A and B are shown apart, each in its own frame.
Chain A
Amino acid sequence: MPRADGQGWLSVKARDGQSVLDRFRTRGALKMLFPVRTPRAEAILINTAGGLTGGDRLQLSVEVQAGAHLTMTTQAAERVYRAREDTARVTSDITVGAGAHLSWLPQELIVYEGGALDRRLAIDLDASASLLMVEPVIFGRRAMAETLRAGHLSDRIRVSRAGRPLYLDGTELHGDIAATLARRALGQGAGAMASLLYVAPDAGAHLDALRAALRAALPATGGASLLAPDTLALRCLAEDGFALRAALLPILDRLSRDTLPASWRL
């Protein structure tokens, strides 16, 4: 696979009670699609290289202007293929303005045997902005009985509000990832993991429902907690990507008020 390089810039604004594109530009392997969906804006990211391999670079820059509402997802799961040398790098920098909302709902990241990725996601919220964010990761292709004996995943999520740190999450898994994830306080053999964050004034009102959903789907491997009155974090592990998505769907339907992108349907 050739080395891929892609950049995307997107800005969404509020106009007459709707969210519309203000500016957007893409270059190289990164493309965006915009299904018509008023009054909200939706953007679907496409990596035309069909996956990530060593040396690939994807850079995304997004602005959700005051009062606008944007949902971002990906057309497909992002596959991290075996890298002969060097790692793939993906960075996303997002600002969400006053009274604006971002739903950041990419499909799964799938790390293949030998895959190597450095990924950075930074979201800066205005004091009055709201956010729904999920990042699902699948370790190896279970359907092919693949276990990750060699891989590299360096992943950081930094969410700040009014310039101050609100939520930090970091993953650093190298080498025999399957053995690491087999450990007692880590994953006990889980093949998939998701981090979810919801920042909105009604966060507390969803806590019990989210816990009930986790109890039904992933009784011992899912947890939700209110980090602050308007900040809800959820973390779960599942046997594989299918079980993870099945657990996340009702939760995302609830938190997105049934505006989950069509690509998320099983």
Chain B
Amino acid sequence: MTTDTDLLILAQWLSPAYPLGAFAWSQGLEMAVADGHVTDAATLRDWVADTLEHGAGRSDAILIRLGHACEADALARLNETALAFAPSQERRLEMTRQGTAFCKTTAATSRIDLPDMVLPVALGRAARLTGLDLDLTVALYLQSQVSNLVSAAQRLMALGQTEGQGVVAGLRPLCRTIAEATRGAGEDDLYSAAYLADIASMRHETLQPRLFQS
């Protein structure tokens, strides 16, 4: 059951102020802008919706759930599975660096034991140890990812604050849908069809100049 405290904890962990360095990563969006795949609010919305529904959003949601269900002695293995599924070096780094930062800060402030793990697995584990509502954790995580991508887009192209927040608001139902649709999903449900997003994250490695690390 969701309590107000759950919401307060998640609002802290998934806020841009939580020191994960999320502002430095774009999941390949910077390349998608450079390639002309994303040029305005409408194309940004399509791109982000696709990655939520068919790519990293959906698979991260599953990894949060698996991290939540996982016993302590199986976490290292789950972490390896998460890394094996990541499509590119920069996506691996993004998950690893943000995960390490999340574990460090959260272990210290919530007094829980969190060995270094990739971000979605670590969030699932922390949610379990803190007794947070899992559906809410997944949905808020997805919305934080959308927010971060929109904020990245605003640094990459002409996109007003209101337009950007319109994209976030418009994708709210999809965040909920994916959070619910990934209930009960297992490792075999890790698949992706966001091919161009994966390819963009690979191609981003050689993009110059660039603002983001992915």
Contact = CB atoms under 8 A, between A and B. Distances in A.
B196 A184 contact: yes
A184 B45 CA distance: 10
Main secondary structure on B side of the interface with A: helix
A186 B85 contact: no
A178 to B, nearest CB: 13
Given A168-B190, A223-B203, A237-B199, A185 B51 contact: yes
A227 B206 contact: no
A166 B84 CA distance: 5
Interface in A208-244: 211, 220-227, 233-237
Given A172-B191, A223-B88, A225-B90, A186 B196 contact: yes
A193 interface: yes
A184 B50 contact: yes
Interface residues of A, number: 36
Interface string B185-212: 0001011111111111111011000000
A164 interface: yes
A163 B54 CA distance: 28
Given A165-B80, A185-B46, A237-B199, A227 B86 contact: yes
B32 interface: yes
A235 B89 contact: no
A159 B203 CA distance: 23
B81 interface: yes
A167 B86 CA distance: 8
A227 B206 CA distance: 15
Given A188-B196, A193-B195, A211-B206, A235 B32 contact: no
B115 interface: no
Contacts of A181: 193
A96 B201 CA distance: 30
Contacts of B199: 221-223, 235-237
B92 interface: yes
Contacts of A223: 88, 198-203
Contact of B47 (A164, A171, A185): A185
Interface string A161-194: 0001111111111000000110111111010010
A224 B202 contact: yes
Interface string A30-65: 000000000000000000000000000000000000
A156 interface: yes
B37 interface: yes
Contacts of B197: 185
B202 A225 contact: yes
A249 to B, nearest CB: 19
Nearest to A170: B191
A181 B92 CA distance: 25
Contact of A185 (B81, B90, B196, B205): B196
Most chain B C-beta atoms within 10 Å of own C-beta, residue among A165, A171, A223, A237: A223
B117 to A, nearest CB: 14
Nearest to B205: A225
A224 B197 CA distance: 13
A185 B50 contact: yes
Interface string A197-217: 000000000000001000000
Interface in B65-81: 77, 80-81
Interface of B: 32, 35, 37-38, 43, 46-47, 50-51, 54-55, 77, 80-81, 83-90, 92, 188, 190-203, 205-206
Interface of A: 156, 159, 164-173, 180-181, 183-188, 190, 193, 211, 220-227, 233-237
Which 3 A-B pairs rank lowest in CB-CB distance, beginning with the nearest?
A223-B202, A170-B191, A185-B50
19 contacts: A159-B84, A164-B80, A165-B83, A169-B191, A170-B85, A171-B191, A183-B54, A184-B50, A185-B46, A185-B55, A185-B196, A221-B199, A223-B198, A223-B203, A224-B202, A227-B88, A233-B88, A234-B202, A235-B199
